[in-house]
């Protein structure tokens, strides 16, 4: 397992392919909703890529919104979801937030993953809401 910060377009394309497979193809999110103005290497977001047996299999990003780190687009390809890679991505995004002087992070977690985030110290702070037809809950954590 290896995690790296994305600094070149080729790696960003790998992350986009993972997101497309998970969110668009598997979960039915419209492609135009999945990709946005923060999907660049211009510094608004820090993107990560996690490898398993030298294959890129997961990704996530963090950006600062009103002084809070917002963890976004966290996903792992289906065959690799039982290897603890999600935890690796979350921890890396939290470290990036700390480097930026951020002491609080939040995310919109799919309700089916709520228990996963709770194990990592996140607490639900909203009622369930829908994003792209998928139930989510706002979760927060003090770093």
Domains of the chain: 2-103 (3.40.630.30)
Q: What is the tens place of the pLDDT at every residue in 45-101?
A: 999 999 999 999 999 999 999 999 999 999 999 999 999 999 999 999 999 999 999
Using an 8 Å Cβ cutoff, are 89 and 60 in contact? yes
Interior angle at CA 77, CA 94 and CA 115, nearest 5: 55
**Cα gap 10→7, rounded to integer Å:** 9
Average pLDDT over residues 25-54: 94
Residue 42 in this model has a pLDDT that exceeds 90: no
Using an 8 Å Cβ cutoff, are 5 and 47 in contact? yes
């Amino acid at each position: 397992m290896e995690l790296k910060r994305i600094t070149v377009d080729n790696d960003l394309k790998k992350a986009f392919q993972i997101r497309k497979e998970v969110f668009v193809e598997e979960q039915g999110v419209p492609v135009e909703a999945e990709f946005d103005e923060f999907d660049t290497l211009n510094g608004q977001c820090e993107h990560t890529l996690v490898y398993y047996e030298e294959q890129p299999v997961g990704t996530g990003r963090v950006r600062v919104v009103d002084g809070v780190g917002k963890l976004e687009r966290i996903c792992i390809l289906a065959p690799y979801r039982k290897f603890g890679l999600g935890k690796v991505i979350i921890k890396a995004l939290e470290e990036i937030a700390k480097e930026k002087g951020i002491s609080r992070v939040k995310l919109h977690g799919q309700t089916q993953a709520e228990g996963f985030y709770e194990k990592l110290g996140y607490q639900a702070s909203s009622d369930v809401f829908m994003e792209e037809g998928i139930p989510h809950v706002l979760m927060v954590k003090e770093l």
